[in-house]
């Protein structure tokens, strides 16, 4: 036990290694994958995130009649790997370095946005006969 | 004296995971141990049928929380070999750095738990405080503390900037300094030696015959380390496997302690030799063929058997984890020890039950 005594004494007189968590919160690291957000205005509902997601927590549906698309994410199934952010072609998905707040009910993130209609191609000029 | 059968587990204070052992005891002396496995079977290998081979990376990472990076490294290496993808040099070095960081935090976690098993709470907190530095390195460089998801088929997803490299070096220097201050306690302290020396002896012949892996094997005097197979960047970085000869619980903890210091040196060497270049090679097509890959995890040799059929779904993924290899040696260690030493001996092989049962 004597070999531990200097370490114990040093710990006794130095400042605490832990922090009083709910009152004192450490700054998150900028790269930390904490929470998934979708910027629905940029989303083109291409379903790439739905296809690549390993936990299959994202569902994308398009309704052509009303011209709207729905992007749904089940945050309780999400594993926060960040694959969807990597593959998103319009960079509308992003991850914020904060923990998701605890919740008592199973809430789905559901976002509704407008489908961007593909630009009509100009009719190819008729070949001269 | 009459024989008694005492159940150890499935839920026991020293083990967070369910491992059940029937201990046949006579006068507090264990005569025989009969293991029972299968409490946490999750069927992850079966998922290969409905997840494509890119999504399986995230699945195999969840086989074990502590060595997640090394599981995905092994899996990706296998797929790359099947598809004949040449991984960029920088990606290999980055994989080495993160896998060594994982080895360090796994060993530090174990050293803390081991100290806790024989009742040395203060030492447990010292090790976990050092571990917190490594966890912060993981979080800041990859984006997650434990399951880092940095591997993709063909390379890695994240890069290290020069500032991050120098920060890793300063944190590691500080961790090494703190480790040196408690080195005398874990290696020479009376309390520690009394509980661990000569307890659960596994001889060199037994270790070889029963197929022990990792620190259990090296603690018994056999210098075998899967990193000698020169995967990732280990062909460029020289190292000697850590070996101890007595084969008791003390030697196994000593091997792990020395391996933490060795890993610090390996990360330093990898950062010093980090080349410039791409992070990932393009990946086209689907894997076809079958092969076996092996890597060294904190607990020992991990083996992946994979069979691809040319579609994006693999036919078969079979994972043999180091704890599975270490259970027959554990049974061989048990006869002759006291009942009070059973938790220490079980912990000395670093059991990871969720690994074993996938």
Q: pLDDT tier at B305 (50, 70, 90 boundaries)? A: very high
- pLDDT score of A124: 62
* pTM beyond 0.80: yes
Residue A129 has pLDDT above 60, yes or no: no
Res. B264 pLDDT band, cuts 50 70 90: very high
Q: For chains A and B, what is the number of CB pairs under 8 angstroms?
A: 62
* Residue A43 · residue A90 · CB < 8 Å: yes
Q: Residue A34's closest CA among B272, B145, B61, B83?
A: B145
Are the beta carbons of A54 and B59 separated by less than 8 Å?
yes
* pLDDT mean over B91-118: 89
* Displacement of CA B271 from its chain's centroid (Å): 22
Task: Flag whether pLDDT at A128 surpasses 60.
Answer: no
| Closest Cα in chain B, distance from residue A102 (Å) | 18
Residue A120: per-residue pLDDT? 66
Q: In this structure, what are the phi and psi dihedrals at residue B75, rounded to the nearest 5 degrees?
A: -65, -45
Q: Which residues, numbered 101 to 130 in chain B, qualify as contacts with chain A under a Cβ-Cβ cut-off of 8 Å?
A: 122-123, 126, 129
Please report residues of A whose CB lies closer than 8 A to that of B55: 52-54
Question: Do the Cβ atoms of B35 and B19 come closer than 8 Å?
Answer: yes
**A35 within 8 A of A83, measured Cβ to Cβ:** no
Q: In the numeric block, which tokens belong to residue B154?
A: 């063909």
Mean pLDDT across the stretch A69-91?
Answer: 87
């Amino acid at each position: 036990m004597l070999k531990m005594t200097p370490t114990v004494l040093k710990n006794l007189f130095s400042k605490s290694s832990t922090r009083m968590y709910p009152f004192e919160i450490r700054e998150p690291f900028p790269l930390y994958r904490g929470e998934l957000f979708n910027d629905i205005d940029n989303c083109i509902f291409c379903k790439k995130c739905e296809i690549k997601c390993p936990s299959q927590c994202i569902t994308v549906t398009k309704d052509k009649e009303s011209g709207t698309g729905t992007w749904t994410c089940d945050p309780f199934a999400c594993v926060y790997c960040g694959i969807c952010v990597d593959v998103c072609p319009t960079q509308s998905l992003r991850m914020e370095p904060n923990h998701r707040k605890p919740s008592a009910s199973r809430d789905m993130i559901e976002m509704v946005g407008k489908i961007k209609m593909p630009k009509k191609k100009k009719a190819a000029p008729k070949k001269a006969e | 004296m009459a024989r008694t059968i005492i159940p150890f587990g499935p839920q026991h204070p020293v083990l967070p995971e369910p491992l059940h052992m029937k201990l046949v005891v006579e006068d507090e002396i264990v005569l025989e141990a009969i293991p029972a496995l299968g409490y946490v079977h999750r069927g992850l290998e079966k998922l290969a049928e409905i997840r494509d081979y890119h999504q399986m990376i995230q699945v195999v990472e969840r086989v074990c929380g502590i060595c997640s990076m090394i599981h995905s490294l092994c899996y990706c290496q296998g797929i790359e070999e099947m598809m004949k993808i040449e991984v960029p040099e920088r990606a290999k070095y980055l994989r080495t750095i993160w896998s060594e960081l994982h080895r360090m935090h796994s060993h530090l976690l174990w050293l803390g738990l081991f100290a806790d098993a024989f009742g040395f709470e203060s030492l447990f907190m010292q090790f976990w405080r050092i571990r917190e530095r490594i966890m912060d390195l993981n979080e800041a460089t990859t984006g997650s503390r434990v399951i880092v998801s940095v591997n993709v088929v063909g390379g890695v997803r994240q890069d290290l900037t020069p500032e991050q490299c120098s920060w890793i070096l300063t944190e590691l220097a500080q961790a090494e300094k703190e480790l040196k201050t408690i080195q005398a306690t874990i290696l020479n302290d009376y309390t520690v030696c009394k509980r661990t020396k000569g307890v659960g002896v596994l001889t060199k012949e037994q270790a070889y015959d029963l197929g022990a892996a990792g620190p259990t094997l090296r603690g018994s005097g056999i210098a075998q380390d899967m990193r000698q197979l020169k995967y990732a960047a280990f062909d460029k970085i020289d190292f000697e496997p850590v070996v101890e000869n007595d084969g008791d619980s003390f030697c196994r903890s000593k091997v792990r302690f020395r391996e933490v210091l060795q890993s610090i040196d390996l990360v330093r060497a990898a950062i010093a030799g980090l080349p410039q270049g791409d992070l990932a090679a393009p990946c086209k097509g689907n894997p076809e063929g079958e092969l076996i890959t092996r890597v060294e995890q904190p607990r020992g040799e991990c083996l992946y058997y994979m069979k691809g059929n040319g579609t994006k779904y693999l036919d078969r993924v079979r994972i043999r984890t180091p704890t599975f290899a270490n259970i027959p040696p554990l049974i061989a260690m048990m006869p002759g020890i006291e009942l009070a030493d059973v938790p220490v001996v079980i912990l000395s092989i670093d059991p990871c039950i969720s690994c074993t049962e996938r």
